[in-house]
Amino acid sequence: MEHKNINLKLKVWRQKNSTDKGGFETYDVKNISQEMSFLEMFDVLNEELIAEDKDPIAFDHDCREGICGMCSMYINGRPHGPWEANTTCQLHMRAFNEGETIVVEPWRANAFPIIKDLMVDRTAFDRIIQAGGYISVNTGNAVDANALPIEKAKADAAFAAAACIGCGACVAACKNSSAMLFVSAKAAHLNQLPQGQPERKTRVMNMVAQMDKEGFGACTNTGACEAVCPKEISITNIARLNLDYTCAGLTDTK
């Protein structure tokens, strides 16, 4: 397939800080290679803005390999853009056509206040993890890998849940800004394993309580979160979380 350079129009959300009203600004980007990633295209635009002595567009990024979950952009009405199971840094400009207008916004959620432009504060996720996304073990000599037998089905389910990179696309896509897919994935990958059993009940109670405290909305099982998740985390994890939460509430967790 032959790739060429294209010209595009970008409508980008610009906002100085969390208290600024903000609004869209339009930019023409020309001669963009279709082999570029979406973030590389933004690099080119920012270089042009800097050369014109203008404020570059602020956006989050780190690994640019689809691992860190930092590249949170809402592109043409979809978190991370049009490709499925894909982060923004893995999105390439061949996904767009000559002369197309691309609308780029930050995640929209009260629990993710805007820092600047396309950057949002996702430390609410960190506080949820601190509330229960860990195990407490006595340290010492490393044990053999096979010292704790784990059923393959449970190991696979835990591994699949652990693939969550905490990007927040699930929150951005949800009409209620729910964090249930993120929380359920983080709880599920520990709750499936023997090492996570001692704190299984307190884990779900504490993580859900912190999630509510952060101001995330309720889950209505529409599945939008699963549809946009770059790691294809299943909403079956939400069912597991609901079950664990119910069981924990019916028993003494102290």
Give the tens place of pLDDT for each residue, 164-197: 999 999 999 999 999 999 999 999 999 999 889 9
- Assign residue 81 a region (left: φ > 0; alpha: ψ between -120 and 50; beta: otherwise): left
* pLDDT at position 80 over 80: yes
Only one residue has tokens 């952009």, namely 73
Strand, helix or coil for residue 91 = coil
CATH dotted code for 123-250: 1.10.1060.10
| DSSP character string of 150-211 | --HHHHHHHHHHHT-----HHHHHSTT-B-HHHHHHHHHHHHTSGGGSTTHHHHHHHHHHHH
* pLDDT at position 201 over 70: yes
Only one residue has tokens 């044990």, namely 143
Please say whether the beta carbons of 174 and 238 come within 8 A: no
- CATH superfamily entry for domain 5-105: Beta-grasp domain (3.10.20.30)
Please say whether the beta carbons of 170 and 228 come within 8 A: yes
Give the tens place of pLDDT for each residue, 105-156: 999 999 999 999 999 999 999 999 999 998 887 767 767 767 788 899 999 9
Q: Which structure tokens are listed for 1?
A: 């397939």
Q: Which structure tokens are listed for 186?
A: 């983080």
Q: Which structure tokens are listed for 31?
A: 């001669």
* Domain spans, the chain: 5-105, 123-250
Q: Which structure tokens are listed for 245?
A: 């939460």
Please say whether the beta carbons of 18 and 114 come within 8 A: yes
Could you give the CA distance from residue 240 to residue 236 in angstroms, rounded to a whole number?
6
pTM of the model: 0.93
